[in-house]
Each structure stands twice: as C-alpha cells, then as structure tokens.
Amino acid sequence: MKLGLRLLLANIKDLIPIGVFFLVLAAVVLPVFGLVYYYNFSFTLNFSNYYFTIISFTIFQSFASAFFSIVIGSVFALLLIRYRYHKTIKLIVNFLSILFVLPTILSVFGVLTFYGQYFSVYGIIGILIGHTVLNTPLITRIIFQSLNDISSNEYILAKQMSLDKLGIFFAIEWPIVKKNIPSLFVIVFFICFVSFTPVLILGGNPKYSTLEVAIYYSVIFNNDFNAALNLLLIQLSICLFIYAAFFKNFKSSNFIIDEQRNFYENEKRGLSFYIEIIFIILISIFIFSPICFIILNGLNKELINIFSSSYLWHAINNTFVICFFSGSVSVFVALNYLNLIYRKKYFTEILIYSLIIFSPVVMAVGYYILLYKISLLNIPNILIVIILNAIFSLPFTYNFLAPSYFKIMHENEDISKSINMYGLQRFLIIDFPRLKVPIITAFSVSSILSASDLVIISFFGTNSLSTLTQTIYRLMGSYRMDEAYSVSLILLMYCICYFGTSYVFMKGKLWNTH
C-alpha cells in the first residue's frame, strides 16, 4: 500500500505535465477533428489565381513585416538597455507590453491618423507600417528581457579588454539578440500571416489580403467549412514549412546566462549619446502612436458620462475575471509544458507556436461544434471563453517564460540534487522564488492578451458577458465613436493598473517564500 502510494507520488510529477501536453494537443486537434467529422471534409485543390496572388503576397508581406519589426525592435532594445536605469526608459519598457495588447483597430486608426496626413498609407507601405507598429513592442520587450540577463561581469571584462561600443555589441550583445531572432521571427511571421483587420484596412484593396480573410468569408458568410478547412490546411503547411526552414535548430533552452546585474556605465555624453537619445525618441514616437491616438481621442466629453453607465462596470468586471483566470491557466499550462520540454527533450515547441496560425475563427467554430452540435460537454460560456483565451495566449506566455525557466532550472539542478528535493516540492521551494518575476510578467501579458480578444468573445460571449474590447467595437458599431474612444482610454488605464498591481506583487514580499 505504502509502496503503491509512493510510486504514484513519484510519477505524479510526470502525470501532470504529460496530461497538460495531451490537453494542449487535444485543444488543437479536437476542434479540427470536430469540423472534419461534422462537415465531411474532402481535400480539394482548385484555387483561382486570386489565391496564388494573395498567398505569395502574404508570404512577402509577412517576411518584410517580420524583418522590419525585428530590425527596429532589436535596435530599440539595444538602445533601451544602455539607459535601463533611467526612469523614463523604465516607463517605456513597462509600456511595451501594453502596446502589444491594445485593440488592433485603434493601432490601425493611429497609423491612419498620424501617417495618413503625410502620405497615402494605403497599400503595401501601410501594411508594413501597421505590422511594424504592432509587433515591434513585443520584439523589443523580449530582447530587452534577454539583454537584461547579461551578467555585468561580461561588460566589465569587455571594458578591461578596452572594447568600444561596437566591440561590446559584437562580443556580448549580438549573440543574445541572435539567439532570440529565430523564435521572434517565426512568431511575427505567423502573426502577420494571419493578420486580418490591419491587412484589410491598410491594404486598401483586396489584392493585398491574407488567407485568413478568405477563411473568415467561407466560415461566416458562405457556411462553406470545406473551403475554410482547405485554406486552413494550406495556411498551416506554409507556416510549418517556414518553421522547419528557419526554426528547426532553435530551442528556447539555449538560453543559459548568468544573473547578477547592476553594472553602471559611466560615460561621457558625447555625440553618440545624443544620437542614441534621438533614436530612442524617434522609435518611441513611431511605436507609441496608437497610445497617443487613444489619449488624444479618449479625452472627450463622453468620458465622464461613461463612468456612470452600467455597461462599463459589467465589462470591467468580466474583463477582469476572464483576464485573471485565463492568465492563470495559461501560465499553469506553459509551466507544465516547459517542465516537460526541459526534462524530456523529444517533446516539441512547435505545438505551442502553431497555435498562432490556427485561425481563431476556425478554432472557435470547431469548438462551437464540439460543444453545442456534438454536445460533448455542457459547460458555461465564461469557462469556454477563459479556456480558449488561455490556449490562444499560450505562445506568448511560453515565449515570455521559456528563457528564464530553462536558465533557472538548469542552475538549480545541483542544489536540488544535493538536498534531494524533487518534483512539486522542489519547484515550490527552490525554483519558484527565482521564477516569480518572469511568471508574473508572463501572467500579466497573457492576461491582458485575453482582454484584447475579439473572436472568441464574439462566438461565446452573451449580452451579460461582454469585455471592454468588445464594448469598444460595439460602441463603434452604433455610431458612438467618442464613447468607443473613451472606453479605449479606460482599457488603457485598466491595462496600466493590471500591470501596476502585478508589479507591486513582483516587488513586494507577499510571495517571498525565502
């Protein structure tokens, strides 16, 4: 009896992560299976020229968008890291995560308003600007985090070897940036590949389109799931091919860097200082245009009235519940998945990243069929919204957690062996205190990402279950543009508060188990 219990306990640490792995697998495969089963899927390849045009255009614009986002994002991260102790820079860094999760439509309006005055933004230029504005913050945030992990010893060593800035860049910083590029490239490529609103509005013409638009049309207007699944299959194949070509040698576990920081560079304020500051300001203006747009438009006469409307407080309440729980679920799943990848090398990360390319519309429909048509389960809508959001934010949660997770697990290996502590106990006592900051960061990002969702909530939301983002769109759909902008400003404040609270948790001793 005792032995059996002990065996069970010993294996339980594997049971949960493996269970989680299969849950993720099921989360991806089941809805597709549901669709295939329900609609008698048949694979047909008869595509008009139009599809070939948009596929080649999509590949081109995704490459270009990813390229520009990565170049600008890395340069920005490298500049920010030099002045990371300055208060303004700290603020910019904290705002980066918020930028990434604002409703897309507002970023698009920001681009139209700020750049539309100077030149025609519609077409390929507009799409590239839009995608760069949207994705640069994510890139900067993740590269900044990695650069921040560089040990000050390395800088001191570089100084002793009297390396100049360029030397330091090539010797220390470039290797870190380089390691980040494959995964970030894939993420941004995937995001741009399935881009919907920015491509439609900024493209200006249906010849600049994505397969996602065609999928949406087949699902929503034509009820043609066969076409939708065929398009999804093509979308998946292209993206998996890109992944295999660029990503196969990459593993997040490559990140093993020392900690300890606090190396202050005392430099003379020469010409390069001013050039760097100018670049920081320029890039900030570029990527902060959506926030400027929201603040400028949100401060209007409707703002005060809105606070007394009941829909706002309902929406805030729902948004909070959805954010909090889906963020928690997402972090839980990501941690277990990381655990599995860390210990069992044959489990792959592509499952997580492929979640980006699974068209949310198709997935939502797939779940709809599973849950209602086949009546597999009878669960309340809010739970579905939470779980689906947790799943769809996984790639980002995972990416935020992975570098620190692998680093810390690796470093704690010896300690845990020496005191003979394994499994959950080890995680809670040894690893968790050091992982607190990345966990909370990943939690905030994935929570807020769920707040920006529009597809899942439009399928599974009800009138009493509406989020802030959905409220913004609803207001816009009823001529109430000013109110929509005000709610956007409130959403912005909400994000700031959410991040702020998480930050307090991070700094505070509340969670400190040591």
Partner 1 sequence: MQKISIVLFFFIYLNSSFAQEKLVVGTYDSFSADWGPGPIIEGKFEEICNCDLQFISTSQAGNLNNEIFLNGKDVILGVEMHEFDYSIEDWHEYDHGFFSFVYDSSKLTNPPKTFEELINRNDLKIVVQDPRTSPVGIGLLRWMKSIFKDDFSIKLKQLDQNIITYTPGWSEAYGIFLEGNADLVLSYSTSPFYHQEYENEYKYKSLNFTEGHLATREIVYVREKSMNQKLAKKFIDFIIEDDIQKIISSMNIMYPSVDKTELVPEKMKKLIKPKEIDYNVFLESEPLIETWLETVAG
- CA-wise closest residue to 349 among 436, 450, 240: 240
Q: Which stretch of DSSP H or E encloses residue 213?
A: helix 211-216
The minimum distance between CB 451 and partner 1, in angstroms, equals 16
C-alpha span between 182 and 39 (Å, rounded): 37
Among 289, 359, 416, 470, binds partner 1 (CB under 8 A): 470
Q: In terms of CB distance, is 36 or 171 closer to partner 1?
A: 36
C-alpha span between 144 and 184 (Å, rounded): 13
- Tally Cβ neighbours within 10 Å of residue 111: 25
Q: Is 201 in the site for partner 1 (CB under 8 A)?
A: yes
Q: In terms of CB distance, is 236 or 382 closer to partner 1?
A: 382
Among 72, 89, 202, 430, binds partner 1 (CB under 8 A): 202
Q: In terms of CB distance, is 69 or 336 closer to partner 1?
A: 336
Q: In terms of CB distance, is 70 or 112 closer to partner 1?
A: 112
Stretch that binds partner 1, among 83-91, 214-222, 244-252, 264-272 (CB under 8 A): 214-222
Q: Cβ(387)–Cβ(326) under 8 Å? A: yes
Among 23, 382, 421, 429, binds partner 1 (CB under 8 A): 382
- What are the Cα distances from residue 276, in Å, to 55, 83, 279? 39, 10, 5
The contact pattern for partner 1, residues 335-374, with x = CB under 8 A and - = no contact, is: ------------------------------x--xx--xx-
The minimum distance between CB 363 and partner 1, in angstroms, equals 13
Coil, strand, or helix at residue 170? helix
Q: Is 13 in the site for partner 1 (CB under 8 A)?
A: no
- What are the Cα distances from residue 382, in Å, to 127, 164, 231, 387, 445? 34, 56, 30, 9, 20
Q: Is 474 in the site for partner 1 (CB under 8 A)?
A: yes
- Which residue reads 């290996």 in tokens? 413
CA torsion 214-215-218-224 (nearest 10°) is 140
Q: Cβ(212)–Cβ(228) under 8 Å? A: no
What is the CA 109 to chain-centroid distance, rounded? 21
Residues 37-96 touching partner 1, rule: CB under 8 A, are 50, 53
Among 81, 133, 476, 491, binds partner 1 (CB under 8 A): 476
> Helix, strand, coil proportions of the chain in percent (round to 5)?
80, 0, 20
The minimum distance between CB 373 and partner 1, in angstroms, equals 7
Residues 486-505 touching partner 1, rule: CB under 8 A, are none
Residues 425-454 touching partner 1, rule: CB under 8 A, are 454
Q: In terms of CB distance, is 59 or 240 closer to partner 1?
A: 59
Stretch that binds partner 1, among 83-91, 140-148, 281-289, 469-477 (CB under 8 A): 469-477
DSSP string, 341-409: HHH-TTS-SHHHHHHHHS-HHHHHHHHHIIIIIS------HHHHHHHHHHHHTHHHHHHHHHHHHHHHH
66: tokens are 């990813």
How many residues at the interface with partner 1, by CB under 8 A?
A: 62
- Which residue reads 């090539």 in tokens? 170
The minimum distance between CB 123 and partner 1, in angstroms, equals 9
Residues 293-332 touching partner 1, rule: CB under 8 A, are 309-311, 321, 325, 328, 332
Q: Cβ(470)–Cβ(119) under 8 Å? A: no
Q: In terms of CB distance, is 247 or 358 closer to partner 1?
A: 358
Q: In terms of CB distance, is 94 or 328 closer to partner 1?
A: 328
Residues of the shown chain interacting with partner 1 in the complex, contacts defined by CB under 8 A: 50, 53, 105, 108-109, 112-113, 116, 120, 122, 196-197, 200-207, 209, 213-214, 216-217, 219-223, 309-311, 321, 325, 328, 332, 365, 368-369, 372-373, 380, 382-383, 454, 458-459, 462-464, 470, 473-481, 484
